[in-house]
Amino acid sequence: MKVLHVSWLKRSDGEPGGVEKFACYLERALTEAGHSCQVIAWSDFPNRGRCERLSNPDKALVLGSWAESELHFDIAVSDGYWGLGITQRKVVPVVHGTWAQFYLNMRSSPWTNAEVQAQHQAFTAPNVFPVACSPASARELERHHRRQPIRTILHGIDLDLFRPQKSSRADGRPIVLHAATNPKKGSDLMPAIARELGDSYRVEFLNAAVGEEAAAFQRGDIFLHPSRHEGNAYALLEAMGTGLPIVTTSVGLFESIAAGLVGPVLPIDATVSQWAEAVREAAVNSVAYGRAARATAKRMASFDHFRSEWVAFLEELS
């Protein structure tokens, strides 16, 4: 079986995002099962220089059309609408959350947005078999696009790589890591949260390049992730695998994890003072939360489970 993964960006180009990690884990899973998986992105399109001004949905049409005519594969797995241009073969769009729910959570109207419309087309085309990456993403797919996923398959991570490994602290202050690169992830809140926590805590950006993520998480004591929308965030899975107490919002996979199990879970409109207090509470209960985080990662983010589920599904679909 030859599988093609299609997305905007890819990890081999130095992109560390969650979709790019998913593609690498899928490639590993299929290769270990004796299949092949080719990962392509917009950077692989030969004539991209002439098309850079296109919108991303139009780039998806161009990339998919080129892939279908030039590459050999049986099934395409895509990030959301990035398989739009593939019309003659089976496409599995992965629902890493929906743009419609993202805009609603960001207090914006979604339905005139081109990416929302492109996802609707991608999720409802006759040759597609959508797979959700969390129960929350499955609910979003049904709520906004009136389509149930064929499967819901949770992400898996390498738990031998992402494991607890504590080092001594020079000054004894807990290191609060975050991965907030934009307002969706809570970047607008971080300076104020750091000021509210004061000198008793070190609030630091994860700042991990491709391949450096495990070591970056292992230097921390708490992971703070005030995201306003997620599907199944790899940063949270990796932090839990590393045994870090989690302070986050009730979105994505954390709609399925009991509040207070691995750390405080707040609403997306929580105030700065509420976030700071949640970090302090996580620090007080860090041992219990850390153990529960590692156990939850083993239960909900096993690569072995991810591999068996995806391989079985794609074999059946082919």
Mean pLDDT of the chain: 96
Q: Which residue in this structure is represented by tokens 């030969």?
A: 46
84-98, 160-174, 252-266: which has the minimum mean pLDDT? 160-174
| Cα atoms in the 13 Å half-sphere on the side-chain side of 234 | 20
Q: Which CATH class is domain 2-156+302-317?
A: alpha beta
CATH architecture under which domain 175-300 falls:
3-Layer(aba) Sandwich (3.40)
Tell me: the pLDDT tens digits for 281-306?
999 999 999 999 999 999 999 999 99
Tell me: the pLDDT tens digits for 180-228?
999 999 999 999 999 999 999 999 999 999 999 999 999 999 999 999 9
Given a cut of 90, is residue 172 above it in pLDDT? no
DSSP E strand stretches across the chain: 2-7, 36-41, 75-79, 90-95, 131-132, 151-152, 175-178, 202-205, 222-225, 246-249, 265-266
Cβ burial, residue 69 (10 Å; 0-12/13-18/19+): exposed
pLDDT of 101 reads 97
Average pLDDT over residues 58-73: 98
What are the structural domain ranges in the chain?
2-156+302-317, 175-300
Same fold for the pair 2-156+302-317 and 175-300: yes
pTM score > 0.85 for this model? yes
